[in-house]
Each structure stands twice: as structure tokens, then as C-alpha cells.
Structure 1
């Protein structure tokens, strides 16, 4: 299954966004890494959306590697994945860096911009933080 998730991430981040970089960072097989994905019924090996939840040693969760296949965008899949991941995060703090066009989606889950925007591969990234007291809108 991990191969299918990596294939989707490379298709979106490296090919579609034309950002040649080392997508495999060694964190995917870490025992504290959790993977979430959505796939069509009966097609588990064809994920349409995915995200990765990291639990660093300091206890603060990080959501990253958030992506959706072009044909699956705009139908609420990422919202479902975020609900699942944040259900596991519970009352703990969580951080994420998101493209500028995803700030509103993450804001609906209690994330607020927190830091200086950066540009990676021509894509503006916004650091966001969700406190334990945050609520989903």
C-alpha cells in the first residue's frame, strides 16, 4: 500500500507541480508515522487522496504530504482525511504547512496562520498551527 501512496505523491508533487525534489524522506516507514488515504470502493491500491501524520518526539503532531489526485479534487475527500487525522490528534497541538489556496480549508479545522510564508518550487506555503482548544467550524 505504501507504494501506491508514494506513487500518488510523486504524481502530484513532482510531476504535476513540476518540483523535482527528493520525495522519499525516510519518514514514511517510521513507527510514529500514520498514513491516511481515500480510494474508490474495490480499488484500495488506487488512492485518490492522502496525508501523513507525524508524531515527533516532542509530542506535537505534524500533518504533511497532503495531496489529492486531479480527478478527485473538490469533492470533499481531503476534508474527510483531515477529520480522521485530527480525530487521532485529539486535544494535542498540531502544525501544518499548506499552499495558500488551502488556508481556508485548514482554517475550518481550527488552524491559524503562524509564521512567515515561504515559497517552495514556486508554491507559496503558509505555516499553520492548531491549538488544543481549537474547534472545527
Structure 2
């Protein structure tokens, strides 16, 4: 399955796009992970929003992209999510590859920092990320900081 990609700053999102991305984030980070947390954290306005759509126009994959100095001293990628119904098609790999390319296009080649859920460490290592420091709990979920030079 191949997705079509679009990237928009917050101000350019349509209401339908905003609703779809919030719905996907809620489905993954709140419902699926049974984690009550403040997803709408005030950082969406500073992010570029990477949206991956199926041929039928459904939002299948999403990530937030930040310039250096917003979430971390380095550029960063966050809220990486793939629709639970579409996970068996390798969309996570497509999403992260597209996110890395888009960060470089938007902000230039530079290090990228992420706060990754610990169980995804090997996935991110496959894209050149390396653990930085000790693990930590975020919303009762084990996380690690990772950096891609």
C-alpha cells in the first residue's frame, strides 16, 4: 500500500484534516494504549503536520515535525501514528522515511531528536537513531531519548 503525503503548518490545516489527525492520535495514544494524557499540548501550532492518505482518502499515517529549539535543541519528530486497522502494510516504515525526508526538506540536514516508546527502540535504530541517556516514564509508558546524527 502506497500513501500520498502532504505536509502543512497548523494554520493551513482544514477543519477536516485537523479532526482526522486528532481522531487518529486519540485512537492510537489514548484508546489503544489506554493512556489518559493531554494530547492537545499547545505544540500543534508550532509543528508541521505530516499526513499520509490512502487512495480512498482516509488518513492512515501521521507525525508532527518540529524545527530545532521547539521540543528539543535539535529538530524533532513526534506523535508518530499509524491507523491500527492498517498496521500490517509497513506504513510505519513509510511514515518514518517520509518524516525524515520532510524534516530535511523543511529545516535542512541536521540531527533529529525523538522521545521514543521503549518497545520501538529497534524500529528507530533501523533508521539511524541511537539511545541517548537513561530511560524514563512518560504517562506511565517507558520511553527513551534517541538521536539521529
TM-score normalised per structure 1: 0.83
- Structure 1 runs of 4+ aligned residues shifted over 6 Å read none
Q: For the residues of structure 1 that align with 2:140 and 2:22, how far apart are their CA atoms?
A: 22
Q: 1 or 2, which has the higher helix percentage?
A: 2
CA contact (8 A) 1:38 1:77 kept: no
Alignment of 1:1-137 (within 5 A): 1-30=17-46, 33-43=47-57, 46-57=58-69, 60-90=74-104, 91-131=109-149
Instruction: Give the total of aligned pairs.
Output: 127
Contiguous gaps of at least 5 residues in structure 2: 1-16
The alpha-carbon deviation at position 110 of structure 1 amounts to 0.7
| Aligned Cα root-mean-square deviation (Å) | 1.7
Deviations 1:23-47 (A, max 9, x none): 10122122xx21112222122xx31
TM-score normalised per structure 2: 0.76
Equivalent in the alignment of 2:14: none
The alpha-carbon deviation at position 71 of structure 1 amounts to 1.3
